Chain A
Amino acid sequence: MNSFAILGVPILTFLTFFPTVGALLILLLPSSKPRTVRIAALVVSLLTFAASIPLFTAFDSTARGMQFVERAPWVASLGISYHLGVDGISMLLILLTTLLTAVSILFSFSITSRVKAYMVTFLLLETGMIGVFAALDLFLFYIFWEVMLIPMYLLIGVWGGPRRIYAAVKFILYTVAGSLLMLVGILYLYYAHHLTTGAYTFDLLQLYDTPLAPAPQLWLFGAFALAFAIKVPMFPFHTWLPDAHVEAPTAGSVILAGVLLKMGVYGFLRFAIPLFPEASMTYTPWIVGLALVGIVYGALVAMVQRDVKKLVAYSSVSHLGFVMLGLFVWNTQGMAGGILQSINHGLSTGALFLAVGILYERRHTREISEFGGLAAVLPWFAALFMIICLSSIGLPGLNGFIGEFLILLGAFRAAPVVSAVAATGVILAAIYLLWMYQRVMFGPVTNEKNRGLPDLSGREFWTLAPVILFIVWIGVYPNTFLRKLDVSVTELLARAQARTISMRAPASTVVPAAAEDAK
Chain B
Amino acid sequence: MTLPIQIDAPLGMIQPLLIVCGVGFLVLIADLVLPHAKKHWCAYLAMGGVVWAFAIALGQWGEEQHGYAGMVVLDNLSTLFNLLFLGSTFLVMLLSEPFLRQERVEQGEYYALILFCTSGMMLLASSLDLITLFLGIEVLSISLYILAGYRRDSEASNEAAMKYFLLGAFASAILLYGIALTYGATGTTNLNRIADTLTNAEGPLPAGLLLAGMAMILIGFAFKVALVPFHMWTPDVYEGAPTPITAFMSAGPKAAAFAAFLRTFFVAFGPIHADWNMLLSVIAALTMTVGNVAAIAQTNVKRMLAYSSIAHSGYVLIGLVAGGNAGGTGAIFYLIAYTVMNLGAFAVVILLEHRKGGGDELKDYAGVGFRYPLIGAALSLFMISLSGIPPTVGFVGKLYLFGAAVQTGHIPLAVIGVLNSAISIFYYLRLLVLMYMREPGEVLPPVRVPAAIGIALLVTAIATLGFGVFPGQCIEAARAGVRALFS
Contacts and interface: CB of A to CB of B under 8 A. Distances in A.
Interface in A142-158: 142-143, 146-147, 149-150, 153-154, 157-158
Interface string A152-192: 01100110000011001100110011001101100110110
A187 B370 CA distance: 38
A114 interface: yes
A147 B414 contact: no
B174 interface: no
A176 B425 contact: yes
Nearest to B403: A187
Contacts of B415: 181, 184
A181 B415 CA distance: 7
A165 B437 contact: yes
B391 interface: yes
B176 interface: no
B389 A147 contact: yes
Contacts of B411: 184, 188
Interface stretch (B95-103, B227-235, B323-331): B323-331
A154 B436 CA distance: 8
A452 to B, nearest CB: 34
A169 B437 CA distance: 12
B421 interface: yes
Interface stretch (A70-78, A291-299, A406-414, A422-430): A70-78
Contact of B437 (A158, A183, A190): A158
A75 B418 contact: no
B370 A114 contact: yes
Given A117-B370, A157-B433, A519-B486, A513 B418 contact: no
A157 B437 contact: yes
A150 B384 contact: yes
Given A114-B370, A150-B384, A519 B437 contact: no
A153 B429 contact: yes
Contacts of A150: 384, 389
Nearest to A195: B407
B406 A191 contact: yes
Interface in A254-313: none
Interface in B380-430: 384, 389-391, 395, 399, 402-403, 406-409, 411, 414-415, 418-419, 421-422, 425-426, 429
Nearest to B410: A514
Interface string A506-517: 000001111101
A518 interface: yes
A75 B389 CA distance: 18
Contacts of B408: 513-514, 518
Contacts of B326: 517-518
B430 to A, nearest CB: 8
Given A143-B390, A150-B389, A173-B425, A164 B406 contact: no
Contacts of A165: 433, 437
A153 B471 CA distance: 27
A157 B390 CA distance: 20
A515 B425 CA distance: 33
A184 B391 contact: no
Nearest to A514: B408
A187 B399 contact: yes
B35 interface: no
Contact of B422 (A76, A77, A173, A512): A173
B375 interface: no
Given A150-B389, A169-B429, A180-B422, A512 B406 contact: yes
A158 B472 contact: no
B372 interface: no
Contacts of B426: 169, 173
Nearest to B390: A143
B212 to A, nearest CB: 28
A164 B384 contact: no
Given A76-B472, A177-B419, A518-B325, A191 B407 contact: yes
B476 interface: yes
A181 B384 contact: no
B94 to A, nearest CB: 26
A514 B409 contact: yes
Interface residues of A, number: 41
A146 B390 CA distance: 7
B470 interface: yes
A117 B436 CA distance: 10
Contacts of A191: 403, 406-407
B471 to A, nearest CB: 6
Contacts of A157: 432-433, 436-437
A164 B436 CA distance: 12
Nearest to B406: A187
A168 B325 contact: no
Contact of B418 (A78, A168, A181, A190): A181
B418 A183 contact: yes
B21 interface: no
A177 B323 CA distance: 26
B414 A184 contact: yes
Interface string B90-113: 000000000000000000000000
A110 B406 CA distance: 49
Given A187-B399, A519-B486, A143 B391 contact: yes
A183 B425 contact: no
B475 interface: yes
B409 A519 contact: no
Contact of B475 (A75, A177, A183): A75
Given A149-B389, A511-B409, A177 B422 contact: yes
B437 A146 contact: no
A139 B395 CA distance: 11
Contact of A154 (B403, B432, B470, B472): B432
A389 B195 CA distance: 75
Interface string A415-459: 000000000000000000000000000000000000000000000
Nearest to A189: B406
Nearest to B476: A77
Contact of B425 (A154, A172, A512): A172
A288 to B, nearest CB: 28
A180 B421 contact: yes
Nearest to B468: A143
A132 to B, nearest CB: 12
A190 B414 CA distance: 14
Nearest to B430: A169
Contacts of A517: 324-326, 407
B349 to A, nearest CB: 21
B324 A518 contact: yes
A172 B414 contact: no
A68 to B, nearest CB: 23
B437 A164 contact: yes
A15 to B, nearest CB: 18
A188 B429 contact: no
A59 to B, nearest CB: 29
Contacts of A518: 323-326, 407-408
Interface in A345-374: none
A157 B414 CA distance: 30
A519 B324 contact: yes
A512 B326 CA distance: 13
A226 to B, nearest CB: 12
Given A153-B429, A165-B437, A512-B406, 7 more contacts: A77-B475, A158-B437, A184-B411, A187-B399, A188-B406, A513-B409, A515-B407
Q: Which 9 A-B pairs have the closest CB atoms?
A: A518-B324, A180-B418, A143-B390, A187-B406, A177-B422, A513-B409, A514-B408, A157-B437, A187-B403
25 contacts: A75-B475, A78-B472, A117-B370, A142-B390, A150-B389, A157-B433, A157-B437, A168-B433, A168-B437, A172-B429, A176-B389, A176-B422, A176-B425, A177-B419, A180-B418, A180-B421, A187-B407, A187-B414, A511-B409, A512-B407, A513-B408, A513-B409, A514-B407, A514-B408, A518-B324
Interface of A: 75-78, 114, 117, 139, 142-143, 146-147, 149-150, 153-154, 157-158, 164-165, 168-169, 172-173, 176-177, 180-181, 183-184, 187-188, 190-191, 511-515, 517-519
